[in-house]
Amino acid sequence: MTRLIAKLKAVKFKLQEWSRIHFSRISERTKIAQENLIRIQTEIQNRPLDLSLALLEIEATMEYRELCRQEEASLFQKVKQNNVTLGDGNNAYFHRLVQGRKNANTIRSVRTEDGNLHQDDTSIKNAFLHYYQALLAQEHESDLQSEDLNSFLFPQLGNQQELQDLARTVSKEEIKNALFDIDDNSAPGPDGFGSAFFK
């Protein structure tokens, strides 16, 4: 596992460089490709018998379609909406979804236990810090004694067979099946690699 992680880190920088070359400024490049295609098609209207323009149009169309596909795949991954069908260039719609997810994940206000409402960023941050410091960093008056554990009720995790199954060795086939069950368009993890890369 250590070797695999080291190799992934080594290839990560090359992939980032490759991504910058081929996928950076994708929306801008798509727009330029569209303008180039329109310019060539306008020229064809003026010179319909020019075969070189026809070949240029085929190349420009292929480039524009590929950039559109890459742009949609990028937006699709950002919004993580598996139920949205791609193919008709709904870029404004996707941008609204991205913004909607950002808004949904933003905390605009929080009310503390004393009833005070906090709405600015600093006040909200301090309210959370105060709450968790009181919850987790507060010192108890006396240490927990081993005999006190007898009074606690711990939930039963399962029967003996289920507990043994939790500790059993996992086969390579099970790991492969679990990985291939993950959708290709799932968002990348903290290492920057999505499930499609590992597949």
Exposure on the CB side of residue 113, measured as CA atoms within 13 A = 6
In a domain, 176, yes or no: no
Please write the tens of the pLDDT for every residue from 159-187. 788 878 888 888 899 888 888 888 877 76
In a domain, 16, yes or no: yes
**Number of domains within the chain:** 1
Closest CA to 41 of 64, 17, 24, 74: 64
In a domain, 127, yes or no: no
In a domain, 75, yes or no: yes
* Mean pLDDT across the chain: 78
In a domain, 179, yes or no: no
Residue 1 has a pLDDT of 82
In a domain, 120, yes or no: no
- Taking the CA atoms of residue 96, residue 102, residue 105 and residue 111 in that order, the dihedral angle to the nearest 10 degrees is -100
Q: Domain containing 82: what range? A: 8-106
In a domain, 33, yes or no: yes
> In whole angstroms, what is the distance from residue 90 CA to residue 37 CA?
20
Q: Residue 195 in contact with residue 184, Cβ under 8 Å?
A: yes
In a domain, 146, yes or no: no
The answer, as to whether pTM is greater than 0.75, is no
Location of structure tokens 């996992």: 170
